[in-house]
Chains A and B, each alone.
Chain A
């Protein structure tokens, strides 16, 4: 279990800047997610930690040792790939043993014992003598996980390992990852574009955008108090509405107002209204028109026009509003997030 420290990491491919001055410290045993859309640089950063990419500038330190110029073979890491990357010509057992062989850890007997332990941890002991092509996607990914933890690496790196699995398998694997992390406690860096995954697995979420870190915080904090408009819209379905704040009141484009808490930013602001925080109810403070209704089974989703803007609101199926109707919205002042600008 080790610290990982990234200092002033810059990376450019030719003329394209992919990472601009990344600074990040991951404490021993922490599970950190790199979250972001395609192209934000999260995978490149992971590969830099692995040694599969070089840096244009900056330093990578593991346990205080500068590994920036070391090749992946010499770093004490383990990595899981989106495509599993199992050695197709070896059995599951030999696949899991491979890192121990390469790093010359222990005698042959000891290596096989470690392999058995790892396979048990992912519940695949019964498939130890199968070939990868005989396994399902989920099973292959579990083999990849066993292979990653067997050598007790200083840092465990995961490159969107669950993206190729279907929804149910993904959820099962997420639970397994949580349990294994709880048990073994490896320093883990996890790349994903799925915010739910990042929120449920991590001790800390690092949101990346355009090669910089947009925000880094524990899951709850980053979801409930996103620091920027980008963070708000990336995490959870949020409606962003421009408004002007003065005298404890936020005025929307069409003149409607709602009360805001004291201490909120003044002047031009952006109101962040989560779908689930807006209620369609008589006596609400705001008026809006229904544009479209989307039937979702147990709920309806409504596209409403509020202050010349389209917003999205979710309501139970028992309430039905037709396009063209006018409805009233209740927005709790404590449920509105106000961002400057």
Chain B
């Protein structure tokens, strides 16, 4: 008789998973804990319970400005990344240009963003003298684009290839096929990609740090600045808000379409 898995191994496996879970999630739990602590020192486990740090964060102009900047930027990035990425994905799914072009489009996923950051800063400063919102928008769109392309390509790969031909035999012209047949089929992929794009842009730190100037400070950059010098639990409150936004996005994403399929891609 072949035994499946010995019991000791099964128990060991679960302990291992628990420890790994701890490793992965502990920092996040800690941040949330600190944010509700009464003490003005950063300690964990938290002492007491208080929401004063959230009040303080809401009344600090630096954080508020950074928040609105990040929000506006992420929204614009989502719009451009979804449109450009969606179009690119449709073009790539025609499959006529080979996988090299696809690899090129997806390369920002694996290339460290510091590579773009330096080059972008140097290029734009030389041309325009200073960094601006538009450079940051461009930079964020570049790294968000592959997410939209990947999710949309995955959805397009599953469709019936004869639907387009059927539409032709039904009298649909080129533009009609694009708008009435191809685009609606892309929507789940575009929506998932949009969520990723928003999240990526909102949380992005490296590009934003390189491209910052006093008027162009995103929320992660603001947090980084505080961490370098004098963190107090206000930072924890702001960070917790960021975690909550991520959680909401993830739940919405799971609701709209399973996370599973994008994880094993």
Q: Interface residues, chain A, CB within 8 Å of chain B?
A: 50-52, 71-74, 77-79, 81-89, 98-99, 102-103, 147, 151, 157
Contacts and interface: CB of A to CB of B under 8 A. Distances in A.
B185 interface: yes
B169 A78 contact: yes
Best-surrounded residue of B160, B166, B168, B176 (most CB of chain A within 10 A): B166
Interface string B164-187: 011111111100100011001101
Interface residues of B, number: 19
B171 A81 contact: no
18 contacts: A72-B165, A72-B168, A73-B169, A73-B173, A74-B171, A77-B169, A79-B165, A79-B169, A81-B162, A83-B162, A85-B162, A86-B166, A87-B167, A88-B159, A98-B172, A99-B170, A102-B173, A157-B169
Given A88-B185, A89-B184, A89-B185, A102 B163 contact: no
Contact of B165 (A81, A103, A147): A81
A88 B170 contact: no
Interface of B: 159-160, 162-163, 165-173, 176, 180-181, 184-185, 187
B162 A71 contact: no
Contacts of A77: 169
Nearest to A105: B171
B169 A50 contact: yes
Contacts of B165: 52, 72, 79, 81, 85
Best-surrounded residue of B162, B165, B171 (most CB of chain A within 10 A): B171
Contact of A102 (B160, B176, B185): B176
A52 B160 contact: no
Contacts of A52: 165, 168-169
Contacts of A151: 170-171
Given A87-B181, A88-B159, A73 B166 contact: no
A52 B172 CA distance: 13
Given A81-B165, A88-B185, 14 more contacts: A52-B168, A71-B168, A73-B168, A73-B173, A74-B171, A77-B169, A83-B160, A85-B166, A87-B167, A87-B181, A88-B159, A89-B187, A99-B171, A102-B167
Contacts of B162: 81-83, 85
A103 B166 contact: no
Given A87-B181, A88-B159, A79 B172 contact: no
Nearest to A159: B162
Contacts of A73: 168-169, 171-173
List 5 tightest A-B contacts by C-beta distance, closest first: A102-B171, A85-B166, A99-B170, A85-B162, A79-B169
